[in-house]
Amino acid sequence: MKTALLEQLLADRVAKRQVVLATDLATGDGRLLYPEEGQGGDAALLDAARRVMVADKSGIVETADGRKVFLHVYNPPLRMLIVGAVHIAQPLSRMAMLTGYDVAIVDPRREFATQDRFPGITLIDAWPDDGVDAFAPDRRTAIVTLTHDPKLDDPALIKVLRSDAFYIGCLGSNRTHAKRVERLTAEGFGAADLVRLRAPVGLDIGAKSPAEIAISVMGQITESLRRPVQVAAGLAAGAAAGSAVGAAE
């Protein structure tokens, strides 16, 4: 590996840029591929890099001209920010940790956000918009708002909608969400922004208990992570049809 390439790779990691290192196993020639940005290689190689990146699985591919190339995925860590240290946050934060996410919960209400209730979880004692700023969401971040209190959820969502977060889920009924959409529209967000909000949150699996709701949310986040193209297409189609995509209340 060339030193210049190593330095660039380290800089990309610091910038939390998603990068795939392609190394020719016969010659040792390396190059950095940026599938999200469409940079670094030809279409076939970028396509292969996108697949391994989404699957989070490094591996060897064979190019059209018969070369063996190792595609090494350097994804930034998966992270989740939960807004609201409420009951559902307890199973959700634990399941997210098991799934491999670095989890933080923001809630300015100290009686909710206690280490006793959330052992091992980072607790951010701040107003949710400041909490989002501190957490600095990137494209490997999932955000879930759970307070369904506009004065806590909305400031967070206003910040989150301007981030690259791959998933934004909001607890609350269809009616709650319709009002939320009205308020955020008044804040200047358009349909293309608001279609990113998954509400009512979670997959429609009939979840009742907090743990079951956490499962439906974790399932929806996993789908967004692993099938980004299909999920984006589904959301766009749902928005075009004027129907909500997501779970029942």
Partner 1 sequence: MGTDGVKQDAVEHEQVLETAAAWKAAGRGVALATVVATWGSSPRPVGSQLVVEEGGDFVGSVSGGCIEGAVVTEARRTIADGQTRLIDYGISDETAWQVGLACGGKCEVFIEPVE
Contacting residues toward partner 1, per CB under 8 A: 1-3, 6-7, 9-10, 13, 23, 25, 27-28, 57-60, 70, 72-74, 76-78, 97-100, 102
Q: Residues for the chain: how many in total?
A: 249
Instruction: Report yes or no: 45 and 108 within 8 Å, Cβ to Cβ.
Output: no
Assign 32 to helix, strand or coil: strand
**184 CB contacts (<8 Å, ≥6 apart)?**
154, 157, 158, 161, 193, 194
Smallest separation (angstroms) from partner 1 to the CB of 5: 9
Smallest separation (angstroms) from partner 1 to the CB of 7: 6
> Nearer Cβ to partner 1, position 71 or 184?
71
> Nearer Cβ to partner 1, position 9 or 211?
9
**CA 220 to CA 215: how far, in whole Å?**
9
Residue among 120, 117, 84 nearest 102 (CA): 120
Smallest separation (angstroms) from partner 1 to the CB of 68: 9
> Nearer Cβ to partner 1, position 21 or 106?
21
Assign 195 to helix, strand or coil: coil
**CA 108 to CA 116: how far, in whole Å?**
16
Assign 70 to helix, strand or coil: strand
Distances (CA, A) of 232 to 50, 165, 195, 223, 228: 16, 13, 9, 11, 6
Smallest separation (angstroms) from partner 1 to the CB of 46: 19
> Nearer Cβ to partner 1, position 15 or 25?
25
> Nearer Cβ to partner 1, position 119 or 234?
119
> Nearer Cβ to partner 1, position 26 or 191?
26
Smallest separation (angstroms) from partner 1 to the CB of 136: 16
Smallest separation (angstroms) from partner 1 to the CB of 227: 20
Kindly tell me the burial class for residue 239, based on how many C-beta atoms sit within 10 Å of its own C-beta (0-12, 13-18, 19 or more). middle
